[in-house]
Amino acid sequence: MKNGSEKYIEAVKYLGELYDFLNRRFFADELEKPVITICPDGKNKALGWFVCGEVWREDGEEKGATEINVSAQFLNRPFAEIAETLLHEMVHQYAYCNQMQDCSRGGNYHNKLYAKLAREHGLEVEKTDKTGWSETRLTTISREIIDEFATEHKFIYRLPERKGAKVRSSSTRKYICPICGMSVRATKQVRIMCADCDALMVEDE
């Protein structure tokens, strides 16, 4: 494939335009635009995620930006499903910005508040045993609104992570808070929150 970097930049730009559209139509432009990233989920499971905390900073600035990531290996889905994923994460952003706790159990379990907020912002919600009210999809009206934005666009996407592709020299993993830098170690892959910063800790490669 030629011009892979350009296609990647184009994908991020298009997701940013979609974010602006969703913010205007579903949140009355209330949300402050985060940094939107595209990167793979190592377990090939997460469609996207919102990172609590102003984890992106600029030199000399005290206030930073939050982050929404859309998983690279799931950008080959139908456009409406990608829009649903972004809207799902924007609901998390809305809860965070309004100091609402919409998740528990290490940030993985979507509680009844998340279900309420999701329904108020264009999503249907179903409950699962493991992750709570996490299964979302666009309502019929929301899908019609999305159709107003949708244009022909072919996203670049990444192939799924190969199991066993990484060789780890140690049986332990180090996790770091992206805000304060506090670190912990675990003997297996986990999702863990920093209680001080209310941020999902990231694995240190």
Counting the structural domains of the chain, the total is 2
Region 118-131: mean pLDDT is 95
Q: Are residues 38 and 96 in the same domain?
A: yes
Region 163-175: mean pLDDT is 57
Q: Are residues 92 and 149 in the same domain?
A: yes
> In which domain, by residue range, is 41 found?
4-160
Looking at residue 24, its pLDDT comes to 98
Give 59-116 pLDDT, tens digit per residue.
Answer: 888 889 999 999 999 999 999 999 999 999 999 999 999 999 999 887 789 999 999 9
Region 111-129: mean pLDDT is 96
Neighbours of 180 (CB within 10 A): 12
What average pLDDT does the structure give for the chain? 88
Q: Are residues 149 and 100 in the same domain?
A: yes
Q: Are residues 41 and 22 in the same domain?
A: yes
The residue with greater pLDDT, 199 or 121, is: 121
Q: Are residues 19 and 47 in the same domain?
A: yes
Looking at residue 151, its pLDDT comes to 73
Taking CA atoms, 2 is separated from 8, 136, 180, in Å, by 11, 35, 40
Query: In which band, very low, low, confident or very high, does the pLDDT at 169 lie, cut at 50, 70 and 90?
Result: very low
Share of the chain above pLDDT 70, in %: 92
d(C-alpha 14, C-alpha 23), whole Å: 14
Query: In which band, very low, low, confident or very high, does the pLDDT at 42 lie, cut at 50, 70 and 90?
Result: confident
Q: Are residues 190 and 152 in the same domain?
A: no
Q: Are residues 127 and 70 in the same domain?
A: yes
Share of the chain above pLDDT 90, in %: 61
Looking at residue 44, its pLDDT comes to 76
Least confidently predicted of 7-11, 121-125, 200-204? 200-204
Q: Are residues 95 and 183 in the same domain?
A: no
Q: Are residues 36 and 52 in the same domain?
A: yes
Q: Is the pLDDT of residue 178 over 90?
A: no
